[in-house]
Amino acid sequence: MIVPVYIHYRELENMCYYDEDEESVVCDDYDYDHEYTVDMVEFDRADLEDIIDEYFDDIIDIILGDKRLTNALLKKLRSRKIDVTTIDQKSQSVKKSKK
């Protein structure tokens, strides 16, 4: 996954300098740490599909294990005119088997 990163110019000024012998800019600190919150991260559709492919079972377990998330999923499916009666029955049986 390619992640574009924006680095403030002041950070570049602090870790880079112009080398007169090489006649180029040299940056010493490649281990610069950057902290990002969930709100700052954006995924494109291909990234999301890769994440879902890799973590599909975990995602389903989380959704079915939380009644609020299960209800939100069922509501979203109903709004798209998808028959959720079989899904709702399966989620209830999964919840019962976990107890």
Report the alpha-carbon distance of residue 87 to residue 55 in Å, rounded: 20
pTM recorded for the entire structure: 0.48
Encode 83-92: b = buried (16+ Cβ within 10 Å), e = exposed: ebeeebeebe
User: Is the pLDDT at 99 greater than 80, yes or no?
Assistant: no
Mean pLDDT of 50-78: 93
User: Is the pLDDT at 29 greater than 80, yes or no?
Assistant: no
Domain positions in the chain: 9-98
Residues 64 and 70 sit within 8 Å (Cβ to Cβ): yes
Tokens encoding 23: 């006649």
User: Is the pLDDT at 56 greater than 90, yes or no?
Assistant: yes
Tokens encoding 24: 């180029």
User: What angle is formed at CA 6 by the lines to CA 55 and CA 35, rounded to 5 degrees?
Assistant: 55
